[in-house]
Amino acid sequence: MKRLLQTLGALLLVAIVMCVFALVYSTAKGYMSWYFRVDGQVRVDGQMTSGYLHANTQRTILLITRTDGDRKETYLIPVSDRAMIMDCGDWNPVRFLSTPVGDVNPPCSVFTDPAKVFDAPLPASLVRERRSVSFTTASGKKVRAEW
C-alpha cells in the first residue's frame, strides 16, 4: 500500500510539473495572455454595481464584467488602440482570480454565438478616456468603468 501511494504521489507531482511548464511555456511564447483583477468600479446608468475589471499584463485590454442584471455580462475593450469592443457571451472571468486566455479559441471574439449575448455593446458609442471607458448597450444602458 505504501508503494502504491508513493507511485501515485510521484505521478501527481509529474503531472503538476508538466502543467506548470506548459503554462509558463505558452505564456513566454505569447500563446496565452493573463488577465489580472484591477481595482476599479463599474457603473450602469450612473448607479454603482458590484461589477469588476480585469486587464492584461500590458494594460492594453480591459475585461469589464457587469453584475447588475439577472446574469453576468463581460465585455472585452481594447484600451490603447481603436479596435472594436466585443461581447464575451456567456463567458465571465472569475472575480478574484487571474484568468489565462489562450489565442487558439479566445472566449471573446467575433465568433461569439449571438444567442449567448445578453446585452450587446454598441461599438460606435465607445468613449475611451485616460482612466475610464464608457459605452452604451443595445438595451440603452450606459456602462462606465473607472480604474
**Could you tell me the residue ranges of all domains in the chain?**
1-30, 33-146
Residues paired with 74 in a beta bridge: 65
pTM here? Answer: 0.82
- Which pLDDT score is estimated for 53? 95
Q: Which helix (H) or strand (E) holds 73?
A: strand 73-78
Predicted local distance difference test score (pLDDT) of residue 121: 92
Is residue 132 very low, low, confident or very high in pLDDT (cuts 50, 70, 90)?
very high
Separation in Å, CA 135 to CA 25, 43, 74, 75, 94: 36, 11, 13, 10, 23
Q: Name the strand (E) or helix (H) holding 17.
A: helix 2-28
Model confidence pLDDT, tens digit, residues 70-99: 889 999 998 877 778 989 988 999 998 888
The pLDDT of residue 114 = 79
